[in-house]
A and B are shown apart, each in its own frame.
Chain A
Amino acid sequence: AQKVTQAQTEISVVEKEDVTLDCVYETRDTTYYLFWYKQPPSGELVFLIRRNSFDEQNEISGRYSWNFQKSTSSFNFTITASQVVDSAVYFCALSEDSGTYKYIFGTGTRLKVLA
């Protein structure tokens, strides 16, 4: 069965600190996709990244970076030099390539960046 675990419920950091959000997933499929979304107070889920199971290369986009490790079934998200605008709830999600192409979301991590 599919499952996504985000063990960190809430993290508080001071502006300019680096922070890593953890995501551990479970799936029996060999082909699957992993995602990170940001949900600011407005409620809209903002797409950040998509990774497929065949691509384990880490990715960097500005202050954001992602570490995908199939050996530990983890897809962690790091924000470098955090800013107040990064404050939001971040969701990790998993989708398999078979059957219903639904997203399974974790419970989210609330990030508070203090000025």
Chain B
Amino acid sequence: DAGVTQSPTHLIKTRGQHVTLRCSPISGHKSVSWYQQVLGQGPQFIFQYYEKEERGRGNFPDRFSARQFPNYSSELNVNALLLGDSALYLCASSLARVDTQYFGPGTRLTVL
């Protein structure tokens, strides 16, 4: 079975622009979580969605938003990009909200 997939793999944007990152969960998984990993640090929780509803939000500004679609795929949107948003963005899926999360390969975002 396919694992979690994310697109694009790499992305380069300039300050002030907007970006959309996409994630497809493992088949049958209904929960998707997003994490930001800055170089040299552990992943930081951004959002969790379960059954298309937001179930948790980390300490990130309102410039970050997300949604989950009826097929359980998800998008992470970041507006008004800052240099500090440069990071690896990881998506994880789980069967249900409290099950083990399996991570995708990530999208590496560079903001110039």
Contacts and interface: CB of A to CB of B under 8 A. Distances in A.
Note whether A and B form a binding pair: yes
A43 B56 contact: no
B90 A45 contact: yes
Main secondary structure, interface of A, reads loop
Contacts of B90: 45
B88 interface: yes
Contacts of B103: 37, 44-47
Nearest to B96: A101
B56 A100 contact: yes
A38 B102 CA distance: 12
Interface residues of A, number: 24
Interface string A1-31: 0001000000000000000000000000000
Interface string B11-50: 0000000000000000000000101000011111100100
Nearest to A43: B106
**What interface size band does chain B fall in?**
20 to 34
B71 to A, nearest CB: 22
Contacts of A4: 42
Contacts of B108: 43
Interface string B71-112: 000000000000000001010100001101111111010000
A103 B108 CA distance: 20
Contacts of B48: 100-102
B33 A102 contact: yes
B98 A101 contact: yes
A103 B57 CA distance: 12
B100 A50 contact: yes
B8 interface: no
16 contacts: A4-B42, A37-B103, A43-B88, A43-B105, A44-B103, A47-B100, A50-B100, A91-B42, A99-B56, A100-B48, A100-B55, A101-B48, A103-B43, A103-B101, A106-B42, A108-B41
